[in-house]
Amino acid sequence: MGSGSSVNPTNYKYSLQKSENAFKAAVLIQQWYRRYVARLEMRRRCTWRIFQSIEYACEQDQIKLHNFFSYLMDHFTPSSSKERDFISRMFISGESFKEAELEKYCDYESMEVPDSYTGPRLSFPLLPDHATALLEAFKQKQQLHARYVLNLLHETRKHLKQLPNISHVSTCYSEEVTVCGDLHGQLDDLFFIFYKNGLPSPSKSYVFNGDFVDRGKQSLEILIILFTFLLIYPKEVHLNRGNHEDHMVNLRYGFTKEVMQKYKVHGKKILKMIQNVFCWLPLATLIDQKVLIIHGGISDTTDLDMLHKIQRNKFISVLRGKKRKESNKDVEIQEINGESKVETESSESESDLSLSPQPRPAPSITNRLEFSKWLRQTVQEQIDWCRQLVDSESEPEEPTYSSVVSLTELDTQCWTHQEEWKQILDILWSDPMSQEGCRVNTVRGGGCYFGPDVTNKILEKYNLQFLIRSHECKHEGYEFCHNRKVLTIFSASNYYEIGSNRGAYVKLGPDLVPHFVQYQASKTAHTLTMTQRISRVEESAFRALREKLFAHTSALISAFKAYDKDNTGKISLSSWAMAVESVLHLGLPWRMLRPQLVRSTADGMLEYKSWLDDLAMEQRSQEHIQTSLLEVIYRNRSNLETIFRIIDRDHSGLISFEEFRQTWKLFSTHMNTELTDDGINDLVRSIDFNKDGNIDFNEFLEAFRLVKQSQ
């Protein structure tokens, strides 16, 4: 017989109690960890809201600034031919060169490459080895010679002019199509994508969905690489235009400055050529006729047929595409492609160029010979007219794709410039929203917000499966919305700060099922814990927010006093939150952010003057400038720098005395400051510190300070 073993009741009870304690401890740890992660996520979301609100407010300022220029154009009446010429040069003309003039101005063949140059060399047609050499050179921080840059831009422009407004990609000819979002001058992200996914090749197609430039420090290198691959693999590499492929936006967000710093001698020529290349970039891409890729979004008026046929190169800057009516005249000022009628009179020959020749009545189609003859003559007339319209003095050239498309459908309706401009503005600047409908995008200041119903309408109308867009930074690098019918893809990792977000790209095969790859291009981000990343990003966000608060000190004081009826110098914390939002209009959860911005008080009241003094001390520790002036500069520096670059037509970093005089006369009628001609001359002489006869940006700020002090 077998022997049995008995269980000691005491040991069993002890073991059970021990297991129960371990289980309780595990539950407590789990609860603690969940609360900890929830707090971190709350901090991350608040930080994200801060960065995004400040970014969009800056974009809104950019559009407001150009609306201000538009207002000046409508209401400023030049008193002399000199003023009229200046206005025309500053805001209107000079944006578009005629074909022959552009070729002559950007003549790269006359440039010699010295023997001492050790960087990469390009010869056309380009080969894959050229692309590999460029990648290696840029990794070693080498710079491509200006001759090759201009040559590359020239060839890229020639190629883009033959492309349709909407590119078509098929998964039948390659294993898959890779779609990348915003890169914003972050070359490391592009290197990482190529390292992880492979270089463009006949079996690997890429679509880059705009916003290649601005913000980052290597925008030009990204353009050079993308344009090189575009010329090597024209059927496999596709580029869409983004809202930052716009020279007016580049003035504010750093690309213009980057080019001029890297190419001090030939930078102006490179910028002019890039400006022209940007306006020829396609507007959208279709994959297998089922997936539409656009940079921003759509609206309830988006019309792909119109987008397919409009002359996209007219819109060098989308910010300057509006048509405005003069207050007392039935005359419209058009600002398309930098062309405008400043004077109401125009010559008969000019007006003839703006009207398309009307085709003669078509003969009966039963008479094939006559009908064929009529069609050839009509098309030839349209081609001749297009050549005149684009460049009345240039030599004849092959018609572009968009011209041919418009000629093949002679009965097509004509759209106004306003309608065409709105189509492009909407696809470059719009964002999706969760609510139904379509409304103006007041946060960015341009484009619209479109809801799920608008998306469904477009998908159904054009028999599409879903939309891919970029334009918005996402924490994980991508995000679905509208019941997975709209996909946002963003490829610039660490966009706001190291650790702030991942980058991502999406791959589509013949089944059109999206497969995502996420990454962090920064090595530093990989060494940080989640807590360290959030703390670092949070610190950067609150530093930017404090600068924003300090820049509006005067307005905040007025808002606080409105709540301080008894003039005690104190307001409640809830009143503080409402007052701050009424001034900054950032839509932030101020009550949640308050602990990071305001020291808690026992009575729940805030001494707002001492709080503002603390903000001022924090900023003055970085800038040894008078507090009131520093506030003004913090609030207006971006706008002032953009204004300066607009006046500085040759991007030399200097403006002449005459340009300054004319600009100040233009602004003085809209600032509460009246300056006579003698007063402006005295101002010019007083701020020209080095007496070189020109004004740099620091001297321009000095003029602003002097006038501000005199108010």
CA dist list (Å): 24 to 29, 257, 350 = 9, 61, 86
Quote the DSSP letter at residue 8: P
The span from the CA of 360 to the CA of 87, in Å, is 41
The span from the CA of 601 to the CA of 211, in Å, is 46
The span from the CA of 289 to the CA of 564, in Å, is 62
What are 614's two structure tokens? 């603390």
The strand pair at 466-469 and 486-489 is best described as parallel
Half-sphere exposure of 460 (CA within 13 A, CB side): 7
What are 699's two structure tokens? 């001297």
- The amino acid occupying position 297 is G
Active-site residue, from 244, 247, 266, 651: 244
Which residue in 209, 213, 208, 218 sits closest to 184, CA to CA? 213
Quote the DSSP letter at residue 283: S
Strand runs labelled E in 446-576: 448-450, 466-469, 478-481, 486-489, 503-508, 514-519, 570-572
Q: Is position 482 annotated as part of the catalytic site? A: no
Question: Quick check: bond before 399 cis, omega within 30?
Answer: no
Bridge partners of 410, per DSSP, are: none
The span from the CA of 658 to the CA of 688, in Å, is 13
The span from the CA of 430 to the CA of 428, in Å, is 6
What b/e sequence results for 599-626 when a residue is b if at least 16 CB atoms lie within 10 Å of its CB, and e otherwise? eeeeeeebebeebbeebbeebeeeeeee
Coil vs helix vs strand at 87: helix
Q: In what order do the strands lie in the sheet with 478-481?
A: 166-169, 284-287, 291-293, 466-469, 486-489, 478-481
Contact between residue 94 and residue 649 where contact means Cβ atoms under 8 Å apart: yes
The span from the CA of 323 to the CA of 280, in Å, is 22
Active site residues: 244
